[in-house]
Chain A
C-alpha cells in the first residue's frame, strides 16, 4: 500500500457551487421563517461538503451571504460539528465507530484492520488520495457493530475483516 501523506492546508481555490447545490439550498431555506433562515446553515454546509468533499472558505462565504449571517458565524458551525471536513480528504472518508458498545464487538479491531490494509494510521489519508481513515464516536447503530460510515451518508453494518477487505477492494475498482 502507498505511503501516507500530510494534508495540505493551502487549499484556497474557490470552487463554485453548482446550480443544483444552490437549488438544494433554497429547498432547505424554505423550511424556516425567512427571518430565521440561518437555521439552514447545517444543511447547506453538508450540501457544499457533498459537492466538494470539504467545506471551503469560499463555500462558507456563499452560504453566509445567502443566509444573511456573518461568515464567522458560519465558520463557528463548520468547526463545532465533527462531520464537517475543514480541508480536503481522501475520495472516501471512512469513519469507524470505536465507542464502548462497538469496542465490545470488534469496532477497534475493525479500525486496526483498516490501518493495516491501507498502510496508514487513523487520521491519515492514503498517498493515492482514495481513503481517509478516522475513528468516530457513536454512530447510533450499536447493534450493527462493527459499523462504519462512508462519506457521511452511507452506513455500513456488521463489518467483519472479510467485509472490510471486500469494501476496500470494491471501492478501489469502482468506476467514477
Chain B
C-alpha cells in the first residue's frame, strides 16, 4: 500500500455525523447519503429549481425581481447561521445595488469555532446547495463575482467544492448570462491555512486579499467597503444553503417551520459527552431535551452538568438552565448565552470546569491576532492565572483578577475575539465558582494540614 491508501482507511464517511436519520424535517441535509453530492443528484432532489424560478419563472409565473427575492428572504426570518444571527434579508437590503462599480459576494466557510462542524458536512455532501444559494443572493444584490472562503483544515472539502464548481460551470449555472438571462455570476473557491481569526468577516477579507488576517475597524462595514474596498456581502455557508428552499417554498413556509423571529431549520453540531456526537438539523424552537435525545443522551452512567450552547465563545449554561431552553436565538439569549454557530459542547458530571476553561483560554491566547493590546496581553494573562489555579498555585483574589481582566478585554478590541475570550471566563466563574475556590483553598491548606 502507498501512503494515500493507508490514510484512506481512516476517512470520515458522514454516517455518524450526517446520514443518521435523526434529523427533524431536514431541508439542507435531506436525502443525503455521501454518494449523491453531484449536480445530477442535486437536480434530482429539486436543486437549481429555485434559480430557474427566479430567472425564468415557474408554473406560469413571471421571473422574480431582485426586490421580490429580498422580500421573500425577509419574510422567512432567516437569520445568519455563522454566529451573529443577523437577519439575512435585512443584510442583503444594505447592499448598494445601484453602485456602478464591482461588488462582491463572499461565503464564510472558515468554520473554526470549536464545536462547529456543520458547514463541512454541507460542503462535502451537498455542495451545490451552497452554490445555488450564492447565485440567488448574487442575483438579488446585483453582484457578478463571488468567493467561498473555506477552512484550510478541511482541504478535501475544498477539493470537493472545486469539483462542484466545475460541474456548475459546465451546466451553465455559473458564468455569463445564466440560463439565457442577462444575469452573470462567477464563483471561485479560496482556502485558509490555519487561523481562527479569519472567521471574523473583516479578517477574512484581509486574508482573501492575500494578507495577514487582522480584522479591520468597523465602520466602514463591508457593505460599503469590503473586498478590495468594494461593496461586499458576507454570509455563512449554512445561511446560503437555506436560501433555495425559501425561494421554492416561500418565506411564510420557512418561517412556519421555525418559530416567530426564528425561521426555518438549523443544523446543530453536538460534541462532547453524548453517546452520538454529530450534526442534527431540526426546526428552530425545538426543545434542547429533544436535541439531547437525538444525540443519544448524555454518556451512559453520567448526568448532564453543563452545556456551551453556541460554540466555545458562548457563555456556558448549567444543566438546569439548559434543560429549560428551546433551541433558537431568543431562548438561548434569554438564558444568558448565545445560539452562536449552533455548536453544543456537552459536559457531564465528571468534568472539571477549571481544566475545561484552561483549554479554551489557551486557544484564545494562541489565536489572538495580536493587533489589540487588551486581547493580545489579556488572553495570555487569563490563561496563566487559570493555569496556576488548576495547578493549585492559585492566589486569593485570582477570581476577581480574572473577572477584571475579562472586563478590560470585552468591548475594548477591534473585533469580537476579545469578547469571545472573555465571555467563557466570566460565565464559568459565575456558574461554577465553588470549583475554582476549592482549588485555591487547597493551596492555603496543603496536604499535610488538610482536615482529610
Size category of the binding interface on chain A: 35 or more
Chain A residues near B212 (CB, 8 Å)?
76-77, 80
Residue contact B17 to A81, C-beta cutoff 8 Å:
no
Chain B residues near A104 (CB, 8 Å)?
271-273, 345-347, 351, 356
Q: B26 an interface residue at 8 Å Cβ cutoff?
A: no
Residue contact A140 to B6, C-beta cutoff 8 Å:
no
Residue contact A36 to B209, C-beta cutoff 8 Å:
yes
Task: Digitize B357-370: 1 where CB-to-A-CB distance is under 8 Å, 0 elsewhere.
Answer: 00110010011010
Complex: chain A residue closest to B277, CB-CB: A143
Tell whether A81 pairs with B195 under 8 Å between CB atoms, given A104-B271, A175-B2: yes
The prevalent SS among residues of A at the interface is mixed
Chain A residues near B117 (CB, 8 Å)?
140-144
A154 and B154 CA atoms in complex are apart in Å by: 8
Task: Digitize A106-149: 1 where CB-to-B-CB distance is under 8 Å, 0 elsewhere.
Answer: 00000000000000000000000000000011111111110001
Residue contact A105 to B271, C-beta cutoff 8 Å:
yes
Q: A57 an interface residue at 8 Å Cβ cutoff?
A: no
Residue contact B193 to A46, C-beta cutoff 8 Å:
yes
Q: Give the tally of cross-chain contacts (CB within 8 A).
A: 203
A interface, CB within 8 angstroms of B: 31-33, 36, 38-43, 45-46, 67, 69, 73, 76-77, 80-84, 92, 98-101, 103-105, 136-145, 149-150, 152-159, 163, 166-167, 170-171, 173-176
B interface, CB within 8 angstroms of A: 1-7, 9-12, 16-17, 102, 111-117, 119-120, 147, 151-156, 188, 190-196, 207-213, 228, 269-273, 277-279, 308, 312, 343, 345-347, 351, 356, 359-360, 363, 366-367, 369
* Other A-B pairs, 4, CB within 8 Å; known A83-B194, A174-B2: A101-B343, A144-B12, A154-B156, A157-B12
The 9 closest A-B pairs by CB, nearest first: A82-B194, A83-B194, A38-B210, A170-B6, A156-B10, A157-B12, A101-B271, A143-B277, A142-B271
User: Can you list 10 A-B contacts (CB < 8 A)?
Assistant: A36-B209, A36-B228, A39-B209, A77-B212, A81-B194, A100-B359, A138-B196, A140-B119, A143-B16, A154-B11
